[in-house]
């Protein structure tokens, strides 16, 4: 059992971030109950699911940081960034294009479910289930025109194309998004068992086989996670009619704090954009 590092908890304000996301979670759950929000295929439900999932992942990130695992924490932060990019991509669309992409996004649930069933049936040579499920999948694909591409619903070929649209929009936060993108790229490398990812350990100045717990390097995952939460929380609160100023300011404050540590440790040029 790995111990908790009290110096890491203190330096990275882990308890404070935990308290903030607990406050956000309680406010969202309270609003859902108070306003009797129903499950629908709309922007609000898109944001609620993404935000609540991100809160869960952020708790896991904090847990990893407490025990000294910055690589795993950054890999999890990758998901929060993708959640944020996808939500912004959808909600910033207008008119018929927005409605079509949102419908496709929800239709992909069934597409993914059917593909999963087929994969399981193949493992156990269940020809009957394979054929029956393939028929359902073909009907689904015919209705929505979906391909095997994981991002067919977006009408783009891959996540990078979605990301480029969000980042390169007329947005004063482009500098911030570029900094976030580079942390995301690091996480995308670490998640795969490449030569580079097997030899690099965030927080360690050395390249090698020592992959034990680290007290440094946690700022990268915490920066990416807290800044990714800002648009998710802001848009979700706005649609629920909640005052997001205090909680977004809190996330912003921690994002700046973690980025300053990144800059200090790596000598990275800070973005001129305000987080």
Residue-wise pLDDT tens digits, 130-157? 999 999 999 988 888 777 688 999 999 9
Residue spans of alpha helices (H) in 124-268: 127-144, 159-167, 174-190, 195-199, 219-240, 245-266
Residue 103 within any structural domain of the chain: no
Q: What is d(CA 181, CA 169) in angstroms, rounded to the nearest whole number?
A: 14
Residue 149 within any structural domain of the chain: no
Structural domains in the chain (count): 1
* Predicted local distance difference test score (pLDDT) of residue 122: 96
Residue 110 within any structural domain of the chain: no
Residue 123 within any structural domain of the chain: no
CB 80, CB 58: distance < 8 Å: yes
Residue 227 within any structural domain of the chain: yes
Residue 38 within any structural domain of the chain: yes
Residue 139 within any structural domain of the chain: no
* Predicted local distance difference test score (pLDDT) of residue 1: 67
Reduced DSSP (H G I as helix, E B as strand, rest coil) percent helix, strand, coil of the chain, to 5:
70, 0, 30
241 DSSP assignment: T
* Predicted local distance difference test score (pLDDT) of residue 173: 79
Query: Residues with Cβ < 8 Å from 132, sequence gap 6 or more?
Result: none
Residue 235 within any structural domain of the chain: yes
Point out the residues of the chain with pLDDT beneath 50.
269-275
pTM of the model: 0.94
Q: What is d(CA 220, CA 209) in angstroms, rounded to the nearest whole number?
A: 21
Q: What is d(CA 122, CA 155) in angstroms, rounded to the nearest whole number?
A: 29
State which residues form the domain around 253. 3-93+156-266
b/e per residue, 227-260, with b = 16+ CB within 10 A?
A: bbbbbbbbbbbebbebebeebbebbbebbebbbe
């Amino acid at each position: 059992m790995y111990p908790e590092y009290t110096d890491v908890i203190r330096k990275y304000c882990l308890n404070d971030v935990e308290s903030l996301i607990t406050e956000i979670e309680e406010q969202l759950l309270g609003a859902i109950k108070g306003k009797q929000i129903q499950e629908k295929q709309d922007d609000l439900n898109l944001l609620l699911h993404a935000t609540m999932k991100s809160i869960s992942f952020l708790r896991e990130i904090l847990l990893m940081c407490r025990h000294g695992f910055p690589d795993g924490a950054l890999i999890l932060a990758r998901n929060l960034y993708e959640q944020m990019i996808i939500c912004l991509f959808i909600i910033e669309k207008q008119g018929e294009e927005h409605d079509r992409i949102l419908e496709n996004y929800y239709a992909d649930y069934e597409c993914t479910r059917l593909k999963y069933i087929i994969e399981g049936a193949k493992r156990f040579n269940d020809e009957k289930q394979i054929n029956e499920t393939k028929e359902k999948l073909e009907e689904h694909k015919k209705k929505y025109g979906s391909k095997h591409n994981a991002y067919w619903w977006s009408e783009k070929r891959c996540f990078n194309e979605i990301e480029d649209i969000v980042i390169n929009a007329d947005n004063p936060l482009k500098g911030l998004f570029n900094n976030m993108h580079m942390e995301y790229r690091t996480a995308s490398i670490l998640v795969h068992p490449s030569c580079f990812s097997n030899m690099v350990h965030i927080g360690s100045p050395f390249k090698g086989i020592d992959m034990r717990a680290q007290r440094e390097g946690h700022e990268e995952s915490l920066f990416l996670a807290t800044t990714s939460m800002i648009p998710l929380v802001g848009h979700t609160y706005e649609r629920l009619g909640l005052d997001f100023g205090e909680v977004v300011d809190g996330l912003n404050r921690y994002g700046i704090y973690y980025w300053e540590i990144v800059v200090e440790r790596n000598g990275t040029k800070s973005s001129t954009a305000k987080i």
